[in-house]
Chain A
Amino acid sequence: MLYKRKNIIGLLIIIFSLSILGCKKSPLDYRIKFIGNYNFIVHNSSWFMGPPPLGGEKDTTFTNNGRVTLGSTDSTVLIYFFAGVSIEYPVEFTIYDDGTIESSSNFIGEFESVKKVRFNGGYEYLSGHDYYDVIGLKSK
């Protein structure tokens, strides 16, 4: 009986050691700390050729409740700073370990902390431009 018990324990030791040796350490997703709901303050300036309301100059600041979610690849995040309007229009950013972000659509910036993001950039068109300067604070 004692011998059988000790064999079981011996087997457990082997399973335990195998599990230790077999452990593959997966690094934690560095993006997780930046994910969440944010209040964005958006400064938008644009100019389009033509008469108003489609054309003309615009310079406005508005606030918006948006969010930051994981992106389509393992090094991107989606920033929904337009969330709340009829069409959700996220911008996908490549995010680096230090919180620096950049997107292929000319947005650049950084997470200054895990609670604050700042970026700017915009779109250039043949008939005008549309620029954004955005600060986002994580909401509780």
Chain B
Amino acid sequence: MKTILIILCLFCFNNISICQDNIKESKEKKFQIAVMAGGSYKNILGKRYIEPTPMNLNDGFLLHQFDGFTKMPTYGFQFGFLITYEIFKHWHFTSGLLYSMRRDIYESKYDTVIKYHALLYNASNSYYNLINNVFKYDYSYNNIELPLMLQFKISKLSFYGGIHLSLMSFYKAKYNYLRYSFNNNYVPPSLFFLGPDFTSQKTIEYIKIPLVIYPTFQASYDLKVKKLTLSPFLGIDLGTKKSLYLQGGIIFSL
């Protein structure tokens, strides 16, 4: 239903622009280059707690990885340049290249997280460490993104709709654990329980080419400051795992 409504809106916008085009030809530049910078705030809206779901034997662990966790609000930012091409009056196509920093944090309390476990034998001190109880997942994505957006412009007001395509990502995942220790002199299952005794952290870094698509909707307003055109914008990005980014920033037209 939403899809149909959006298509109808696009048809209406399209027809309005066609009518206006017949009256008056555009005198604006076909190409325009702009620099943009802004910030984002994620998970400000919607339910943050992820309800545990019933588990089946055949379920992969990914299905329940974040059961009982809370999606934490995170900040991000982006900057880069945009090239706008006027397709016809009121309608522009915008692309460019952006650096975008995005973050996902899932957090839970220690005592409620028993998701999986593995005993690691530590030869140096003859203890088993129970690698278990990841109580915080912290993912950072430093993305190179290609915006592909359509811009509808009426007077000083612009509406953008399209996607940000992540071409490459420097990915960093931090896992926070609560570790338990067991004395190795006792044979399973009668392990001598010593902990929970400490927390630890593991970081995994990786460059990946994910081709993740972030649908984007933005609105901006042109302000003339002497010869400069500044366009403050507000928008939303739809991320992975049903997350919503609120965006804001400024576009400087060169």
Q: Which of B7, B18, B119 contacts A17 (CB 8 A)?
A: B7
Q: What CA separation (Å) do A42 and B209 show in the bound complex?
A: 33
Interface pick from A54-62, A82-90, A93-101: A93-101
Given known A13-B150, A109-B120, contact A6–B10 (CB-CB < 8 A): no
Q: What CA separation (Å) do A126 and B240 show in the bound complex?
A: 50
- Tally of chain A residues near chain B (CB < 8 A): 40
Report the nearest B residue to A103, measured CB to CB.
B118
Given known A13-B14, A20-B162, A100-B116, contact A114–B61 (CB-CB < 8 A): no
Q: Which of B3, B118, B120, B210 contacts A28 (CB 8 A)?
A: B210
Q: Which of A2, A16, A23, A101 contacts B118 (CB 8 A)?
A: A101
Minimal beta-carbon separation of B244 from chain A (angstroms): 14
Q: What CA separation (Å) do A130 and B240 show in the bound complex?
A: 44
Which residues of B have CB within 8 Å of A75? 60-62
| B48: Cβ under 8 A from any A Cβ | no
| B235: Cβ under 8 A from any A Cβ | no
Which residues of B have CB within 8 Å of A133? 121, 123
Report B61-97 residues with CB < 8 Å from chain A CB: 61-62, 65, 87-88, 91
Which residues of B have CB within 8 Å of A6? 14, 17-18, 21, 88
Minimal beta-carbon separation of B161 from chain A (angstroms): 7
Which residues of A have CB within 8 Å of B29? none
Which residues of A have CB within 8 Å of B65? 96-97
Which residues of A have CB within 8 Å of B118? 100-102, 108-110
Which residues of B have CB within 8 Å of A9? 14, 87-88, 91
| B212: Cβ under 8 A from any A Cβ | yes
Which residues of A have CB within 8 Å of B202? 98-99, 110, 112
| A73: Cβ under 8 A from any B Cβ | yes
Minimal beta-carbon separation of A122 from chain B (angstroms): 11
Q: Which of A73, A98, A108 contacts B60 (CB 8 A)?
A: A73
In this complex, the interface size class of chain B, counting residues with CB under 8 Å from chain A, is 35 or more
Which residues of B have CB within 8 Å of A120? 120-121
Instruction: Assess whether B131 is in contact with A110, with CB atoms less than 8 Å apart.
Output: yes
Minimal beta-carbon separation of B126 from chain A (angstroms): 13
Report B27-78 residues with CB < 8 Å from chain A CB: 60-62, 65
| B110: Cβ under 8 A from any A Cβ | no
Q: What CA separation (Å) do A96 and B11 show in the bound complex?
A: 47
8 additional A-B pairs beyond A20-B162, A33-B208, beta carbons within 8 Å, are A14-B7, A21-B3, A23-B213, A25-B213, A28-B212, A75-B62, A96-B116, A118-B120
13 CB < 8 A contacts A-B = A2-B21, A9-B87, A9-B91, A10-B18, A13-B91, A17-B7, A74-B62, A96-B61, A97-B137, A108-B119, A113-B205, A114-B204, A133-B121
> Which chain A residues have a beta carbon within 8 Å of chain B's beta carbons?
2-3, 6, 9-10, 13-14, 16-18, 20-21, 23, 25, 27-28, 30, 32-33, 73-75, 94, 96-102, 108-114, 118, 120, 133
